[in-house]
Amino acid sequence: MKIYRRQRQAYVFTALVVTVAVVNALFFLILFEPMRTEYSDLQDTIRRLHTQTATRTAQLRQKEKIASQLETSKQDRAALVTKHFIPLDVGFVKVQPDLDRFAQVAGVKKSRVDESRDPTPQFGLYSVKIKIPVQGTYSNIVNFIKQIESSDTFYIIRAIDVRGGSSESSSQPGAADISLDLTLETFFYQ
């Protein structure tokens, strides 16, 4: 009987182990496919996140480059404004001697200059309209315009009104004077 009982216990134990193994195998088979799908989804997500990270890194580098260019553009703008435009507080005081010098170098007669400043700045610059009547020979007038164009200060010629003049005041025989009304524009900064 003892042998029978031992055999019976061995069978029960074996049956129990086999049952646990079968249950484990069933759980494995039941859970294997969803876990495999989830693993595959996780791999796809990781690949997608790596791609997004690479893209965002490239975008970040590009934005850092643009930011550094913007920093230098502020400095470049300030340099441009201070080099080619006139400060507001000395604007009209600086324009008059420049125009007198241009007229003297070109050999033209300049009369009264009318200046008007736009009260509203655009992009930090005040527009100044200047009307200059000048008189001289054609070549002197051309030289005067070249002086304006080659100035360090930006002068924009907005209009030219040409009238014929007399040859009495000319220093060259046969050369007729030309009267000209130039309308210029320059900018003051503050």
For 42, the token pair is: 């996780």
Indicate the number of domains in the chain.
2
pLDDT reading at 171 higher than 70: no
Residue where a domain stops, chosen among 84, 99, 123: 84
Specify whether 26 is located in the same domain as 103. Answer: no
Considering the domain architecture, whether residues 6 and 67 belong to the same structural domain is answered as yes
Whether 80 and 90 map to the same domain: the answer is no
The domain of 166 spans 86-189
Is residue 92 packed enough to be buried (19+ CB in 10 Å), middle (13-18) or exposed (0-12)? middle
- pLDDT band of 55, cuts 50, 70, 90: very high
Q: Could you say which of 47, 64, 84 is where a domain stops?
A: 84
Q: Taking the mean position of all CA atoms in its chain, how far away is CA 36?
A: 51
**Residue 93 scores a pLDDT above 80:** no
Same domain? For 124 and 56 the reply is no
Region 19-23: mean pLDDT is 93
Do residue 61 and residue 1 come from a single domain?
yes
Task: Kindly indicate the confidence band of residue 22, based on its pLDDT and cuts at 50, 70 and 90.
Answer: very high
**What whole-number distance in Å separates Cα of residue 76 and Cα of residue 120?**
24
Given a cut of 90, whether residue 8 has pLDDT beyond it is no
Q: How confident is the model at residue 57 (pLDDT cuts 50, 70, 90)?
A: very high
Distance CA 62, CA 31 (A): 46
Based on the domain organization, do 104 and 179 belong to the same domain? yes
Dist. CA 35–CA 155, nearest whole Å = 76
